[in-house]
Amino acid sequence: MKAYFPTAGKPAKGEDLPPVAYLQWYIPRLREQRKHNLSFSGLQFPWELGTVEDVWKDHRKQGFDERELVSEMYGVHTDNVHLTMGATQAIGVAISAASRGGKVAVEMPSYAPVSQTARILGLETLEVRRQPTSDVWTIDRENWKKVLIDVDLLMISPQLNPVGCSYTMDDRRWLVETCKEMDVRIISDEVYSASDRNWQPFYKEGDHCISISSLTKVHGLGVIRYGWILADSKIIQDVNKAFHHMEGMMSSPTIRIVEKIKERLSEPIDLIEDYRKANLPVLQEALERLGIEWTPPAHGVFGAFRIPGVDTLEMIDTIGKEYDLLAVPGCMFDSELNEWLRVGWSIEPKMFEEAVQVLEKVIREAINIT
Ligand SMILES: Cc1ncc(COP(=O)(O)O)c(C=O)c1O
């Protein structure tokens, strides 16, 4: 059977390039526009932007610094900010700038670009794995230490895809301190974290920590490709060199659109809170009726749970398709997650309720077959 999860290993070029198998599976199914869509990992925010004047004209001019928006968002100096065309590009640019040529530890489960991009850039990667518990997934410190000793860079996504929980405070502190002692730089992909109003980016933990984010997930603006990197100013200078090679300049339409909506960036976060209040109890009750244990993550718009004995990829591709339902199988994110299903609650409550009724039927049928 085809494997969809991301892989670690030697540098890879040409036909050995690892696919983002999740996107190969997901994009055709998204295009089917299934009626009940619980697959979104980002907020579906009803942006209506109207007209943006001179949208295509060069945005660069005297006295305008495009980094200011992000520097104000985090209260950091503009010298610690670099913009990118989305978080995916930020991953490659940040690795190019922060690597010192050694091996790279990559956290699993993961969204494949976070864990695989280092291989494409000519670096060998080694896996570290966050472990399932019935609540927040945790770091197995002894195992992580054995890997960290061998690397000079670590790739993480604190708010873990597919389960949606972040590190415990204790694990976070341990990770930051251990990496500092071992001279390992951390690149932290935080695209989901702004839904936590008290989120502190890893960048603020020390010069060895770099944060990446974008307006894709929490703000529902993936189509405009606006992302950023926060890092020590010396690393940002190297980020700038990599960016000039890999992108050149930011897109003017992107900058102009974001400038137009910059006063409205808290609206999506309010909507996420409303959706959590309305939608989470509906999902929790359905899972309880099915006898599935689940603790929702403290923030954000998706979570994942295990359906014992059910291959969720097969379930979505057969019974799910029949009932016009889409949700994301856990096997897209790691090898041991075949029985896990990721469900998003970032849609309007009426639609969500209908979709959860269908999900309950699909799961019940799958459990009965197995
Ligand atoms: C952890 C993570 N980072 C980045 C992205 C993509 O972000 P962007 O659209 O800003 O490139 C995703 C998309 O699913 C993701 O899960």
Q: Helix (H) and strand (E) counts for the chain?
A: 12, 13
Contact 287, 38 (CB under 8 A): no
216 lines ligand 1 (CB under 6 A): yes
* CATH 3.40.640.10 residue ranges for the chain: 68-264
Contact 178, 148 (CB under 8 A): yes
Task: Select from 204, 237, 185, 190 the least CA-distant residue to 79.
Answer: 237
How far, in Å, from the CA of 66 to the mean position of ligand 1? 22
Cβ-contact 205, 78 below 8 angstroms: no
Sheet holding 103-108, edge to edge: 81-84, 227-230, 209-214, 185-189, 151-156, 103-108, 125-131, 138-139
Cα of 260 from ligand 1 centre, angstroms: 23
pTM of the model: 0.97
68-264 under CATH 3.40.640.10, yes or no? yes
Q: What is the DSSP string of 74-117?
A: HT--GGGEEEESSHHHHHHHHHHHH--SSEEEEEES--HHHHHH
> Which residue has the least CA distance to atom 15 on ligand 1?
111
Looking at the chain, which residues constitute the CATH 3.90.1150.10 domain(s)? Answer: 14-45+266-369
Ligand 1 atom having least distance to the Cα of 227: 10
Pocket test for ligand 1, best of 191, 221, 225, 247 (most atoms within 8 A of CB): 191
For 214, the 3-state DSSP assignment is strand
pLDDT of residue 135: 86
CB of residue 88 inside a 6 A radius of ligand 1: yes
User: Cβ distance 209 to 185 under 8 Å?
Assistant: yes
Tens-binned pLDDT, residue by residue, of the chain (370 aa): 789 999 999 999 999 999 999 999 999 999 999 999 999 999 999 999 899 999 999 999 999 999 999 999 999 999 999 999 999 999 999 999 999 999 999 999 999 999 999 999 999 999 999 999 878 999 999 999 999 999 999 999 999 999 999 999 999 999 999 999 999 999 999 999 999 999 999 999 999 999 999 999 999 999 999 999 999 999 999 999 999 999 999 999 999 999 999 999 999 999 999 999 999 999 999 999 999 999 999 999 999 999 999 999 999 999 999 999 999 999 999 999 999 999 999 999 999 999 999 999 999 999 998 6
Give the number of the atom of ligand 1 that is nearest the alpha carbon of residue 226: 10
Architecture per CATH, 14-45+266-369: Alpha-Beta Complex (3.90)
Protein residue with least CA distance to atom 1, ligand 1: 111
For ligand 1, mutation pick of 89, 91, 217 (most atoms within 8 Å of CB): 217
For residue 34, report the phi and psi dihedrals to the nearest 5 degrees: -60, 145
Ligand 1 pocket, 254 CB below 6 A?
no
Q: Among 5, 95, 111, which is best to mutate for testing ligand 1, by the most ligand atoms less than 8 A from CB?
A: 111
